[in-house]
């Protein structure tokens, strides 16, 4: 229920929409009901069922009151008048016109109310999707390694969709059907209290059966949603790893895995559909059963003249009663489909509620400039339980270049990730300008930094937009300047539309070196005082490495940089080289010192010389 209300709240602001909706829905129901109320007078007049006193009663106009009875009396009055003047055939025509008119009005109002509902529904889904997207982009980096990407994707697309088709669609049922049921019941009570009381007693049976079905549905819905997100993960992995899959002839393995999961998903869905589809025929059967019981009981009353209803009244009563059952059926169908939506809703809210472990402290201060340096003070770090960095002491002074080298898995990238505060150290502090990162405004901290990683992160957009990514107000000139420094200008001009060329998904239309130079141009344009280069040239062939290395050298001029390098030749001139192994600093110093030391650094150098 809490989840449901939370979803509904996304429809805000309701303002005048809800009252408008209720008025339209109410009028729709009332005009719908009018048709049935008119049936009794029609029968009575056309088939001459009225006695002389009754005929007398309707000669004068009935006194006005707001009731079903008034409408009926009014209709009797006009019908009798009409019949006197135009005969039975004319009366029939008159009734037909009235019926068509009231059906027209009923549908007009129904239409208006449906439109309002659609607005609310669209709004719920739009706001929900925005909210989830917003949260996702704010979540800390660690979240994305813990959760599978496919799962997140599936929540953002399928689950939001599910909320749309089930929960949002249930709005109609929630608001309208109860109104219908109440108005119809009031009418029925009015027609025959005794009979209606009797029927009210039978209804809870229907409710009991429906709630049992609902309980069972919820479990399957969870299973189904989880299976679907595993499917999406598989698809995502296959798409991004298609080369490897083909190269290793692993197509069958992947296909098997997929088809197994797909089978399971289908099975769960069928079993869920079995229950869901059972809900509606069951309630229909029960409905007919109830009508049959009323027919027996009420018919008896009428036949023995014990009821306030006469034959045509009873007939009308039954017709109106049968109109109550569809709303009940709708309600039961909605309840069962809402279960699926609620499971999805919960999965969506799991993301919305995911704790933001990296966030601004309440008294965070902005960093405006970078003058002193960065200081790792006895920093340790662990991913969950695995210790990755132990007791790191390191100073990166302004204007200096510090290189991190060492065997892979040693913790270099992790150390670099701590500087923009992608993670917080588990022990110790990182100080920038003498202040712990935790006390700094995150946005201002990150605005000091440019990051270039091994895999260039580009977006399916134009070259211009990819370069101007971190600086939305950059003009053509700025972008071109940055591209020139990054050795990218020439090849950009050779592309089809120059700076306006779309580079495809993740930059697929460019070579590795070109992608990397665009990433560097992006960093140059941002012009940050601090640079973090994580194996920026490792993925390149030596030809493009040269171009990229040149670009990097241009980029690093007059900046403070932390460089992770696999190719040691590129960092020989660093102010300090730090060798990290198994999370600890084992050697540090300049290139020549370290070679003389004859330790790990020298060993790494010799290995590369081979």
Residues 258-297: x where in contact with ligand ADP by CB under 6 A, - otherwise, as a string:
----------------------------------------
Stretch that binds ligand ADP, among 47-55, 191-199, 296-304, 412-420 (CB under 6 A): 412-420
Report H helices in 155-241.
Answer: 160-162, 169-191, 193-240
Question: Least separation, in Å, of the C-beta of 400 and ligand ADP?
Answer: 21
Binding residue (CB under 6 A) for ligand ADP from 410, 425, 450, 507: 410
Helices (H), 404-535: 412-418, 442-446, 463-467, 476-485, 489-494, 512-526
What does the DSSP assignment read for 408-420?
TTSSHHHHHHHTT
Q: Which is nearer to ligand ADP, 252 or 355 (CB)?
A: 355
Measured distance CA(558)–CA(80) in Å, rounded: 101
Nearer to ligand ADP, 95 or 580 (CB): 580
Q: Which of 15, 53, 63, 145 binds ligand ADP (CB under 6 A)?
A: 145
User: ∠ CA(482), CA(488), CA(489), 5° rounding?
Assistant: 75
Quote the least distance from Cβ 445 to ligand ADP, whole Å.
Answer: 20
Report in angstroms how near the CB of residue 388 gets to ligand ADP at its nearest: 4
Of all helices (H) and strands (E), which one includes residue 396? strand 386-397
Complex with ligand ADP: residue 386 or 609, whichever CB lies closer: 386
Q: Which is nearer to ligand ADP, 325 or 449 (CB)?
A: 449
Residue 530 or 578 having the CB closest to ligand ADP: 578
Give the nearest distance from C-beta 578 to ligand ADP in angstroms: 11
Q: Is 565 helix (H, G, I), strand (E, B) or coil?
A: coil
CB atoms closer than 10 angstroms to residue 24: 21
| Cα–Cα distance for residue pair 39/48, rounded to 1 Å | 14
- Over the window 414 to 453, marking each residue x when it contacts ligand ADP by CB under 6 A and - when it does not, the resulting string is x---------------------------------------
Q: How many helices (H) and strands (E) does the chain have?
A: 21, 10
Query: Hey, what are 184's tokens?
Result: 């119809």
Q: Site residues for ligand ADP, window 380-409 (CB under 6 A)?
A: 383, 386, 388, 408-409
| Nearer of residues 141 and 197 to ligand ADP, judged by Cβ | 141
Is the Cβ–Cβ distance between 57 and 207 less than 8 Å? Answer: no
Least distance (Å) between residue 7 CB and ligand ADP = 32
Least spacing, CB of residue 408 vs ligand ADP, in Å:
4
Picking from 220, 197, 347, the residue whose alpha carbon sits closest to that of residue 271 is: 220
Whether 136 contacts 351, CB under 8 Å? yes
C-alpha to C-alpha distance for 475 and 481, rounded to whole angstroms = 10
CA-angle at 440, arms to 434 and 446, nearest 5°? 105
Structure tokens belonging to residue 140? 């800390």
Site for ligand ADP in 546-585 (CB under 6 A): none
Long-range contacts of 472-479 (CB under 8 A, 24+ apart): 474/525, 478/525, 479/521, 479/525
* Shortest Å, Cβ 180 to ligand ADP: 55
- Single out the residue of 32, 313, 327, 411 in contact with ligand ADP (rule: CB under 6 A): 411
Nearer to ligand ADP, 234 or 580 (CB): 580
User: Which of these, 528, 521, 519, lies nearest to 560 by C-alpha position?
Assistant: 528
Q: Which is nearer to ligand ADP, 153 or 382 (CB)?
A: 382
Minimal distance, residue 26 CB to ligand ADP, in Å: 57
> Please, which of residues 355-384 interact with ligand ADP by CB under 6 A?
383
Q: In the bound complex, what is the minimum distance in angstroms from residue 534's beta carbon to ligand ADP?
A: 7
Q: Which two tokens stand for residue 181?
A: 């049921």
Tokens 């009418």, residue located:
187
> Which 64-123 residues touch ligand ADP, going by CB under 6 A?
none
Q: Does 412 bind ligand ADP (CB under 6 A)?
A: yes
Of residues 287, 281, 279, the one with CA closest to residue 333: 279
Contact 601, 565 (CB under 8 A): no
Of the pair 145, 473, the CB lying nearest ligand ADP is at 145
Q: Supply the minimum distance, in Å, between the C-beta of residue 535 and ligand ADP.
A: 8
Smallest distance from ligand ADP to CB 556, Å: 20
Distance in angstroms (rounded) separating the CA atoms of residues 334 and 214: 10
User: Based on CB atoms, which residue is closest to ligand ADP, 388 or 432?
Assistant: 388
DSSP assignment of 343-409 equals HHHHHHHHHHT---SS---TT-B------SEEEEEEEEEEETTEEEEEEEEEEEETT-EEEEE-STT
What is the spatial distance between Cα 167 and Cα 7, in angstroms, rounded to a whole number?
8
Nearer to ligand ADP, 417 or 576 (CB): 417
Is 57 or 566 the residue whose CB approaches ligand ADP more closely?
Answer: 566
Least Å distance between CB 25 and ligand ADP? 52
Stretch that binds ligand ADP, among 171-179, 332-340, 410-418, 444-452 (CB under 6 A): 410-418
Report d(CA 231, CA 402) in Å as an integer.
44
The DSSP call for residue 530 is E
Smallest gap from Cβ 379 to ligand ADP, in A, equals 13
Length of the chain: 610
Shortest Å distance, C-beta 553 to ligand ADP? 22
- For ligand ADP, give the closer residue by CB, 257 or 582: 582
H or E stretch covering 265: helix 251-303
- Binding residue count for ligand ADP, defined by CB under 6 A: 11
What the block records as the tokens of 355 is 């704790």
* For ligand ADP, the closer CB: 6 or 148: 148
Angle, CA of 484, 575 and 403, to the nearest 5° = 75
Binding site for ligand ADP (CB under 6 A): 145, 383, 386, 388, 408-414
């Amino acid at each position: 229920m809490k989840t449901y209300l939370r979803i509904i709240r996304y429809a805000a602001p309701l303002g005048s929409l809800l009252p408008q909706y209720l008025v339209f829905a109410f009028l729709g129901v009332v005009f719908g009901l009018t048709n049935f109320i008119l049936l009794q007078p029609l029968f009575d007049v056309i088939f001459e069922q009225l006695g002389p006193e009754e005929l007398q009663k309707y000669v004068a106009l009935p006194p006005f009151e707001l009731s079903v009875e008034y409408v009926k009396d009014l209709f009797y009055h006009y019908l009798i008048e009409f019949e006197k003047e135009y005969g039975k055939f004319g009366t029939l025509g008159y009734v037909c016109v009235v019926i068509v008119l009231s059906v027209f009005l009923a549908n007009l109002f129904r239409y208006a109310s449906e439109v309002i509902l659609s607005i609310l529904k669209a709004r719920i889904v739009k706001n929900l999707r925005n909210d989830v997207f917003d949260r996702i982009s704010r979540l800390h980096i660690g979240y994305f390694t813990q959760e599978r990407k496919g799962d997140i994707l599936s929540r953002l697309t399928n689950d939001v969709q599910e909320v749309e088709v089930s929960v949002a669609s249930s709005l109609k049922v929630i608001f309208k059907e109860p109104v219908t049921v109440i108005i119809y019941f009031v009418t029925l009570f009015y027609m025959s209290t005794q009979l209606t009381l009797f029927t009210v007693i039978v209804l809870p049976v229907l409710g009991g059966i429906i709630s049992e079905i609902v309980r069972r549905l919820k479990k399957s819905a969870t299973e189904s949603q989880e299976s679907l997100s595993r499917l999406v993960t598989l698809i995502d992995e296959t798409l991004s790893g298609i080369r490897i899959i083909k190269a290793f002839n692993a197509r069958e393995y992947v296909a098997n895995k997929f088809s197994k999961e797909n089978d399971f998903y289908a099975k769960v869905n069928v079993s869920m559909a079995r229950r869901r589809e059972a809900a509606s025929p069951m309630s229909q059967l029960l409905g007919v059963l109830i009508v049959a019981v009323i027919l027996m009981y009420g018919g008896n009353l009428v036949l023995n003249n014990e009821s306030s209803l006469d034959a045509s009244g009873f007939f009308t009563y039954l017709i109106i009663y049968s109109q109550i059952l569809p709303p009940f059926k709708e309600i039961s169908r909605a309840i069962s489909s809402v279960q699926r939506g609620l499971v999805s809703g919960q999965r969506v809210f799991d993301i919305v509620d995911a704790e933001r472990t990296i966030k601004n402290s309440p008294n965070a201060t902005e960093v405006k400039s970078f003058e002193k340096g960065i200081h790792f003070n006895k920093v340790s770090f662990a991913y969950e339980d695995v210790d990755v960095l132990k007791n790191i002491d390191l100073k990166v002074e302004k204007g200096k270049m510090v290189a991190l080298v060492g065997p892979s898995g040693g913790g270099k990238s992790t150390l670099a990730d701590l500087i923009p505060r992608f993670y917080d150290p588990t022990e110790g502090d990182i100080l920038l300008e003498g202040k712990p990162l935790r006390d700094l405004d995150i946005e201002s901290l990150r605005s000091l930094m440019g990051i270039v990683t091994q895999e260039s992160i580009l977006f399916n957009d134009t070259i211009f937009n990819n370069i101007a990514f971190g600086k939305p107000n950059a003009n053509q000139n700025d972008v071109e300047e940055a591209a020139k420094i990054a050795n990218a200008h020439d090849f950009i001009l050779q592309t089809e539309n120059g700076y306006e060329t779309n580079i495809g998904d993740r930059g697929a239309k460019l070579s590795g070196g070109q992608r990397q130079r665009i990433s560097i141009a992006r960093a140059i344009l941002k012009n940050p005082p601090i640079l973090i280069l994580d194996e920026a040239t490792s993925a390149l062939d030596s030809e493009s490495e040269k171009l990229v290395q040149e670009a990097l050298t241009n980029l690093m001029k007059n900046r403070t940089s932390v460089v992770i390098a696999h190719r040691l030749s590129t960092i020989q001139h660093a102010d300090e080289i730090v060798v990290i192994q198994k999370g600890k600093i084992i050697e540090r110093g300049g290139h020549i010192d370290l070679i003389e030391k004859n330790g790990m650094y020298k060993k790494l150098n010799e290995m590369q010389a081979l």
